[in-house]
Amino acid sequence: MNWRFMILCFLLTACSPIGSVVNFHDNWTGIDTITTNEQEIFRDRQGVMLVRPAITSRGGQRAFGIVTRIYRIVPNGPIIEKIESNGNLLRYQKTDRLLTQCIDTCRRTEIGVIHLTEAEFRNAAKSGLPLRIFGRRGRYHGTVSPALLQTLLAQIDATPQAAAISAPQHPQCRTDHRAICRSKTPR
């Protein structure tokens, strides 16, 4: 009976759409995020690169970017120095270095964000975003699929611009505003 359940779970996850959109709202910060599932754009004997386009909004302003996750299969983690697209240097920010993929042995992973303007994001949605990653322990290359970017743009184009968030959204802030949310309260 258990093996039937496992096969059913595998088949259901295999049938889930690759570019499905994930929306979530952080009540504490008031930030709305629209993203997709991760997509592998590079793999060789030494490393793997996964990307996830994301759009965040708060107070009527939006930020566009590509979340990257790069890990090496061999010892020593990646140390990313720069990322280029079509010869142009992109704004990359490392956000974390973790030990992940701990099935047989843990892998050192660098997680970061490639910051894009809305115009750059929309342009990449037409033909994809080719990436060349230069690191101290390897070089990686791949292209972010235009379909992933188009999926997110269709989602935000279908919804009106987010309304400005004027009050903190944490439940305790509503009941005891002075004790919890003093720094967010106008004086």
Question: Residues 149-170: pLDDT tens digits?
Answer: 999 999 888 876 543 333 334 4
Q: Is residue 103 part of a domain?
A: yes
**88 part of a folded domain:** yes
Measured CA distances, 145 to 43, 52, 64, 87, 149 (Å): 15, 10, 15, 18, 7
Counting the structural domains of the chain, the total is: 1
Whether 55 is covered by a domain: the verdict is: yes
The answer to which of 10-19, 74-83, 111-120 has the lowest mean pLDDT is 10-19
Domain of residue 135, CATH code: 2.60.40.10
Identify whether 74 is part of a domain. Answer: yes
What average pLDDT does the chain have?
75
Domain membership flag for residue 159: no
In a domain, 23, yes or no: yes
Assigned domain for 69 exists: yes
* pTM metric for this prediction: 0.71
Answer whether 66's CB lies under 8 Å from 121's CB.
no
Q: Domain range holding 37? A: 17-149
Whose tokens are 């989602």? That residue is 155
Cβ neighbour number for residue 77 with a 10 Å cutoff: 21
Q: What is the pLDDT of residues 27-74, one digit of tens each?
A: 888 899 999 998 989 888 778 889 999 999 998 899 999 999 888 777
Rounded Cα gap, residues 102 and 39, in angstroms: 19
Amino acid identity of residue 2, one-letter, is N
